Amino acid sequence: MSYIIVFILGSIWGSFSNVCIHRMPYNEGVAKGRSYCPNCKKQIRWYDNVPIFSYVILKAKCRDCSAKISIKYLLVELICALSFVWFFYLFGLSLTTLLFFILTIFFIIIFFIDLKHFIIPNELTFPLMVIGLVKTFDPNLNQYLFPNFFNSVIGGVAGYSIIWMIIFIYKKLRNKEGMGLGDAKLLSAIGFWFGWISIPFILFFSSFVALALAIPSLIDKSKNLSSQIPFGPYLVLGCVLYLLLLEKIILYLN
Over residues 98-136, the pLDDT tens digits come to: 999 999 999 999 999 999 999 999 999 999 999 999 999
Identify whether residues 129 and 249 lie together within a single domain: yes
Is 6 within a domain? yes
The set of residues, in sequence order, having a beta carbon less than 8 Å from that of 226 and lying 6+ positions away, is: none
Is 248 within a domain? yes
Mean pLDDT of the residues in the chain:
88
Q: Under a CB-based contact definition with an 8 Å cutoff, are residues 183 and 190 in contact?
A: no
Is 57 within a domain? yes
Q: Under a CB-based contact definition with an 8 Å cutoff, are residues 180 and 119 in contact?
A: yes
Over residues 193-226, the pLDDT tens digits come to: 999 999 999 999 998 888 888 787 767 766 665 6
Identify whether residues 28 and 80 lie together within a single domain: yes
Instruction: Give how far Cα 174 sits from Cα of 13, 93, 161, 223, Å.
Output: 42, 50, 20, 18
Q: How far apart are CA 195 and CA 188, in angstroms?
A: 10
Domain hosting residue 3, numbered range: 1-93
The reported pTM is 0.91
Is 224 within a domain? yes
Count of the separate structural domains present in the chain: 2
- The stretch 61-77 carries a mean pLDDT of 87
Identify whether residues 182 and 224 lie together within a single domain: yes
Q: Under a CB-based contact definition with an 8 Å cutoff, are residues 202 and 242 in contact?
A: yes
DSSP line for 61-112: B-TTT-PBPPHHHHHHHHHHHHHHHHHHHHH-SSHHHHHHHHHHHHHHHHHH
- The stretch 38-55 carries a mean pLDDT of 80
Q: What are the DSSP E strand ranges found in 88-179?
A: none
Is 177 within a domain? yes
Identify whether residues 138 and 187 lie together within a single domain: yes
Q: How far apart are CA 186 and CA 115, in angstroms?
A: 14
Over residues 125-135, the pLDDT tens digits come to: 999 999 999 99
| Whether residue 140 has pLDDT greater than 80 | yes
Is 113 within a domain? no
Is 161 within a domain? yes
Identify whether residues 154 and 216 lie together within a single domain: yes
Residue 7: per-residue pLDDT:
96
| Whether residue 177 has pLDDT greater than 80 | no
- The stretch 239-243 carries a mean pLDDT of 94
Identify whether residues 150 and 206 lie together within a single domain: yes
- The stretch 3-14 carries a mean pLDDT of 95
Identify whether residues 154 and 250 lie together within a single domain: yes
Identify whether residues 104 and 86 lie together within a single domain: no
- The stretch 232-236 carries a mean pLDDT of 94
Identify whether residues 199 and 81 lie together within a single domain: no
- The stretch 44-65 carries a mean pLDDT of 83
Q: Where is pLDDT greater, at 53 or 45?
A: 53
